[in-house]
């Protein structure tokens, strides 16, 4: 499982707070195919521990040995896979090359960055190569990580959050699968007969109505909402709030006919516009002709991954 920004910074902060030196390695640019996208992180402690990945394993071994032999005192740029010989030596399966930014970081900056992500804020580490300065910036406009030859702006985002409405079998499968791709889950279901059979070690369960829960928790652009309760009195509350929030995805389970009736109901009785309703993914998930709860969960998760990576 790939660690997300928040997890990597938390681990790096723990190392720095115990007196170890820490540096952050990030993917600045890729040329050709690359196993990890721009902005991917690898945190390394001088004890040899590391968290995250910049290549999926292709260059980590050599990079870690390089840092061990010559710990960076200031920011530096490294290029891997520049020649065919080097790509063959490093066994880069994609055949491309990547530019990496290496920067030593102090505990104070790591702490500020990690706490901002915990508050579900998008932030950026702005680093200047010439003097090695690194500052933390707010990133509310959702910029992409970028390198201009002198400054490296690395955008860091909070962990993706999935709210599942309905504590039935689909939710059970979905939370198991979502955790594998580092999507944090919470389940919402006010119905006692469903709430009582839910196991808390699967995912947190809220027993209130979904509009109350979502209003209290807050819905941002790193949130997904999937309604699978089969009860429109419950699902519609989450859908209505979700469609008028910053949620990255709002989906509702149901047949094509049921979904059409839901859109008509929301338009006629709750004055939702065509543009607002166009955001709703109903029927939920990718159309893979899924039938069983597990297959439906796969279709939903695949849809979420598509949105997440887009």
Domain limit, last residue, from 102, 121, 156? 156
State the CATH number of the domain containing residue 302. 3.40.50.720
Structural domain count, the chain: 2
Q: Which residue has the tokens 């941002």?
A: 220
Contact of 26 with 206, CB cutoff 8 Å: no
Residue 130's φ and ψ, nearest 5 degrees, are: -65, -40
**pLDDT at 83 exceeding the cut of 60:** no
Domain co-membership, 145 together with 228 = no
**Residue 19 lies in domain:** 5-156
pLDDT for the residue numbered 81: 67
- How far apart, in Å, are the Cα atoms of 194 and each of 15, 74, 165, 198? 42, 56, 11, 7
What tens digit of pLDDT does each residue of 255-306 get? Answer: 999 999 999 999 999 999 999 999 999 999 999 999 999 999 999 999 999 9
Domain co-membership, 300 together with 278 = yes
Domain co-membership, 184 together with 256 = yes
Domain co-membership, 230 together with 301 = yes
Domain limit, last residue, from 98, 127, 156? 156
What tens digit of pLDDT does each residue of 5-32 get? Answer: 888 999 999 999 999 999 999 998 887 6
**How many residues are recorded in the chain?**
310
Residue 254's φ and ψ, nearest 5 degrees, are: 150, 160
Domain limit, last residue, from 138, 156, 174? 156
Pairing state between β 151-156 and 146-147: antiparallel
**pLDDT at 109 exceeding the cut of 80:** yes
| Residue 122, both tokens | 């998008």
Domain co-membership, 13 together with 123 = yes
Domain co-membership, 63 together with 176 = no
**pLDDT at 1 exceeding the cut of 50:** no
């Amino acid at each position: 499982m790939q660690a997300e920004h928040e997890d990597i910074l938390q681990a790096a902060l723990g190392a720095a707070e115990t007196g170890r030196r820490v540096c952050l390695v990030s993917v600045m640019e890729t040329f050709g195919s690359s196993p990890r996208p721009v902005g991917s992180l690898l945190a390394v402690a001088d004890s040899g521990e590391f968290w995250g990945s910049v290549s999926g394993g292709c260059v980590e071994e050599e990079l870690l040995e390089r840092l061990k032999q010559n710990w960076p005192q200031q920011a530096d740029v490294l290029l891997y896979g520049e020649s065919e010989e080097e790509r063959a030596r490093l066994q880069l399966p994609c055949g491309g090359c990547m530019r990496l930014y290496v920067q030593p970081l102090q505990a104070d900056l790591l702490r500020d960055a990690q706490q901002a992500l915990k508050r579900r804020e998008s932030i950026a580490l702005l680093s200047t190569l010439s003097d090695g300065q690194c500052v933390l910036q707010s990133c509310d406009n959702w910029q992409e990580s970028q390198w201009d030859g002198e400054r490296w702006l690395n955008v860091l985002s909070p962990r993706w959050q999935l709210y599942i409405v309905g504590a039935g079998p689909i939710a059970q499968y979905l939370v198991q699968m979502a955790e594998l791709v580092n999507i944090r889950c919470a389940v919402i279901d006010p119905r006692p007969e469903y709430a009582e059979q839910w196991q808390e070690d699967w995912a947190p369960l809220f027993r209130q109505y979904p509009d109350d829960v979502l209003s209290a928790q807050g819905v941002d652009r790193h949130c997904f909402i999937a309604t699978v309760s089969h009860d429109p009195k419950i699902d519609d509350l989450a859908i209505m709030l979700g469609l008028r929030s910053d949620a990255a995805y709002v989906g509702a389970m149901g047949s094509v006919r049921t979904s059409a009736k839901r859109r008509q109901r929301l338009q006629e009785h709750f004055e939702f516009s065509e543009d607002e309703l166009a955001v709703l993914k109903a029927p939920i998930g990718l159309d893979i002709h899924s039938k069983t709860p597990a297959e439906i969960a796969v279709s939903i998760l695949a849809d979420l991954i598509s949105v997440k990576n887009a």
